[in-house]
Structure 1
Amino acid sequence: MGCFSIKCGLLAGSVFGAVIAILGGILIPVGDMIIERTVKKEAVIEPGTTAYDNWASSEIAVYRQFWLFDVKNPQQVVQEGAFPEVQEKGPYTYKTRYLPKANVTFNPNNTASFVLPMGAIFEPSMSVGPEEDTVTTLNLAVAGAYSLLPPASHILLDMVINSTNSSLFQHRTVKELLWGYNDPILKDTIGLFSPYNGTSDGPYNIFTGKDDISKVSIIDRWRGETKLSFWNDTYCDMINGTDGSSFAPFVDKDVPLYFFSSDICRSVSASYEATMNLKGIEVYRYSLLPSTLASPVDNPDNKCFCRNYETTKNCTLAGALDISSCSDGQLVDQSSSLCPTSFKASSEYELINSLSCRVLNKVKDYTLLPLAWLNETATLDDKTADMFKRELISRIDMLEIVQQVLLIAGVIIFFVCLIAFFCVRRKSKTNLG
């Protein structure tokens, strides 16, 4: 028989099927290596990569939602020393971080420097009312003056306050309270977030990931320093992780994510909570642990963050962080009991970087009076989600399909040809016999 007989053809088919199956099997690790190499290449922050385009631009909308606390019994508080009764008003939503990073400079040590311009645009469609809504709230200048000046100066301070028709509480619009108003006592602009528009955060110096992708976006320096100077402690003054807007690829769910927040002047960590589906993309949800702002009694690591022993009741008050050393006497108080249910319900579909209650003291016995609380969300838009699915997920799916088709087709061809080969061979022997 010649080599072109049926048996030779079937044998060749078996070999071909085996080669196809082996090729499909080889593509599994090789494909994973290709995907990993591609992701690492595109995750580097340098011109021409996908990471750089997303990092440098401001296409993903970031929103800050504010809930203000309206004091319902200001006269009773002032005249009778009653405990303030407050009611939430909000949300009042502003689009922030809509300006691209400025002064971007790439350095020889594989880092990039930049400043983050600050700006806020009111979003009526996402707010409970106009920013001209009024609230009765603490008079920032009066409360601050009483807190900062010694008791011997209070008589003189009372004369100044009376001459300007000021009091411990005032009526202000949402816009004035958040972004600033001209105060008759200070003769200057004062507000919870004043100044904001036209200012910038930074400069930041971050690793690009070019030499080590695991370091991408990690902060090397903030305002020119590798550590903070607010807490006078090696641990609390550490600048850990990224700025919270991005992280390195191939995240290990068992390892916490670290990031630095300039709003609260400290680094924090978040732990994996759940895997979710966001616009057809599998994402991980992370949340801060209760120990992050726990009292030093429950978390000794937070002892160096306790600076005011009176307002924190000798460092036993959980959820309070005195940031007066870096934010002009403001306090941040994180209290879940003050968070509206609407925020909790929607948060699972958003990347959240939340602060809580910005407060000032004092009303009575160092009471922490809430003025406002906020959450910041960066929601993945449809355009970016489609790009991510088209450029990455669709290619991964196509590669997996090719791998499976080659493997399955090769195995089927191999066994079909092999079985047919033995059947023909057996039939040939029967005919010869």
Structure 2
Amino acid sequence: MNHLKCCFIAGSVIGAVACALGLILIPVGDSVIGSTVKKEAVLEEGTTAYENWISAGAPVYRQFWLFEVQNPDKVLNGSIPQLQQKGPYTYRTRYIPKENVTFYQNHTVSFLLPSGAIFEPSMSVGPEEDVVTSLNLAVAGVYSLLNHMVANMMIQLSGSSLFQKRTVKELLWGYTDPMLKVKLGVFHPYNGTYDGPYSVFTGKDDINKVSTIDSWNLEKTLSYWNNTYCDMINGTDGSSFSPFLDKKTPLYFFSSDICRSVSAEFDASVDLKGITVYRYMLPSQTFASPVENPDNRCYCTNTQTTRNCTLAGVLDVGACRGTPVLISLPHFLHGSKELQELVHGLNPDPEEHSTYLDVEPITGFTLRFAKRLQVNMMYGPSKDIKILNKVKENTVFPILWLNETAALDDDTAQRIKAELFSRIDTLETVQIALISAGAVMLVLCLIGVCVVNHRSRLSFIA
């Protein structure tokens, strides 16, 4: 009986030790994982972050939907434009690795982002030679920038009109305009150009600063908005963030496409190829009017195009782009009602037209994203420009919208799961096994000790 009791006591001790070991492994394991992630998240040669950062692993695509005008002649006589989107026309972009990568002793790294676009016929509704009736970029430009009498003379001498027929390739990447005698295009010039230089923190001295932009175009602030707040360059470029995300904390990133910084808020946890990611969305207030969002007051630089800063949904980037371009979300999502009323054929859909980032919360890597923007220009009635004498009223006219997107591929997903999550899963399995087995052994052995003691007392009484 004593021998059996000793065995149970020994089992209890072993069980307690196993439980304790399992509990000890929790903070120890978290510490090991944390230090490993922080080490691999630093932007320096040899780390996982650097390999993903130096060259986009997953293909990045830009899909374009162009707005075709169904009734161009009637618009000139006062009718509302009837639009029909045509697309997608898809191009592969960001396929060229970063250039001029230079590391500095203050734990920053500078680089250039080369621009390039390759047409993808299999992902498009037709060839680049498809013809679209769209807004005449030159006419809309001189309407906004020049004296209207001068603009009228230029328009009449060149025989230009408010709308023009152009191929998709011409409208996107450039054509020689007969009035201005220069090359125009929504994204001209693009191929062979660069975004930057950027300078970002490597995170080597402070992992919370990893990928945060230190300067862009050799400046630490912008100069377009003439305001300290709006000219701030906040956050990263959106491709990655500091590790161990907190759902309650917004993510900040700078987009050179819209010449400003924005924030994204946690929306939901999403499964991406077996990896749980946090989906962050642009708030509906991002392009709100200053009446609704006072923080946007300094982004309102043109009272004419924004109805004295009461128009929601558009951002005038003329000071940044050098051309009178207005940026919005596709189909004027979250925009003022009048934007929808001045053109027909739009159908804003949050599911299809919102911008989002899917970020892995432990590493801070963006594993999927969809950046959706619309390019618009403005025209309106003019007594001095003959072709605009009868148009209805000032109209923010959509030219096209784009979806720049990339997603984690199967091979990379398997590598991430194998290199990171398999270790975490293994550690958690060991912890659970030790705690569970130890607890069961402890309880059973304590019961055994009680039974042996009870039987000993009964034997003594008998």
TM-score range, shorter chain: over 0.9
Per-residue deviation, 1:428: 5.3
Q: Is residue 279 of structure 1 aligned with residue 273 of structure 2?
A: yes
Matching residue of 1:331: 326
Per-residue deviation, 1:343: 6.2
Per-residue deviation, 1:310: 0.9
Gap change, CA 1:151 and 1:182, over 3 Å in 2: closer
Matching residue of 1:27: 25
Tell me the distance in 2 between the aligned counterparts of 1:425 and 1:83.
94
Q: Say which of 401, 409, 413 aligns to 2:437.
A: 409
1:278-357 alignment runs, 5 A limit: 278-329=272-323, 330-334=325-329, 335-336=332-333, 338=346, 344=352, 351-357=368-374
1:66-145 alignment runs, 5 A limit: 66-78=64-76, 80-145=77-142
Q: Is residue 393 of structure 1 aligned with residue 421 of structure 2?
A: yes
Q: Say which of 41, 50, 60 aligns to 2:48.
A: 50
Tell me the distance in 2 between the aligned counterparts of 1:15 and 1:155.
95
Per-residue deviation, 1:77: 2.5
Residues 319-350 of structure 1: per-residue CA shift (max 9 Å, x gap): 11110001122221331274675962998897
Matching residue of 1:360: 377
Matching residue of 1:216: 210
The answer (yes or no) to whether the contact 2:69–2:84 under 8 Å persists in 1 is yes
CA RMSD, aligned part only? 2.3
Per-residue deviation, 1:306: 0.7
Tell me the distance in 2 between the aligned counterparts of 1:418 and 1:121.
72
Tell me the distance in 2 between the aligned counterparts of 1:154 and 1:257.
44
Tell me the distance in 2 between the aligned counterparts of 1:430 and 1:29.
46
Q: Is residue 154 of structure 1 aligned with residue 151 of structure 2?
A: yes
Q: Percent identity?
A: 59
Matching residue of 1:249: 243
Per-residue deviation, 1:253: 0.7
Q: Secondary structure at the match of 1:153?
A: helix
The answer (yes or no) to whether the contact 1:62–1:378 under 8 Å persists in 2 is yes
Tell me the distance in 2 between the aligned counterparts of 1:256 and 1:249.
14
120-129 or 5-14: bigger deviation: 5-14
Matching residue of 2:177: 183
The answer (yes or no) to whether the contact 2:139–2:155 under 8 Å persists in 1 is no
Tell me the distance in 1 between the aligned counterparts of 2:5 and 2:155.
109
Unpaired runs of at least 5, structure 2: 334-339, 341-345, 359-367, 382-392
259-268 or 7-16: bigger deviation: 7-16
Gap change, CA 1:379 and 1:339, over 3 Å in 2: farther
Gap change, CA 1:342 and 1:99, over 3 Å in 2: farther
Tell me the distance in 2 between the aligned counterparts of 1:307 and 1:218.
28
Q: Is residue 236 of structure 1 aligned with residue 207 of structure 2?
A: no
Gap change, CA 1:321 and 1:346, over 3 Å in 2: closer
Residues 3-61 of structure 1: per-residue CA shift (max 9 Å, x gap): xx444333222212211111011111211121111111111111111111111122112
Q: Secondary structure at the match of 1:361?
A: strand
Gap change, CA 1:341 and 1:310, over 3 Å in 2: closer
Per-residue deviation, 1:407: 0.9
The answer (yes or no) to whether the contact 1:352–1:375 under 8 Å persists in 2 is no
7-16 or 57-66: bigger deviation: 7-16
AA partner of residue 344 (structure 1): E
Q: Secondary structure at the match of 2:15?
A: helix
AA partner of residue 129 (structure 2): E
Unpaired runs of at least 5, structure 1: none
AA partner of residue 146 (structure 1): Y
Matching residue of 2:252: 258
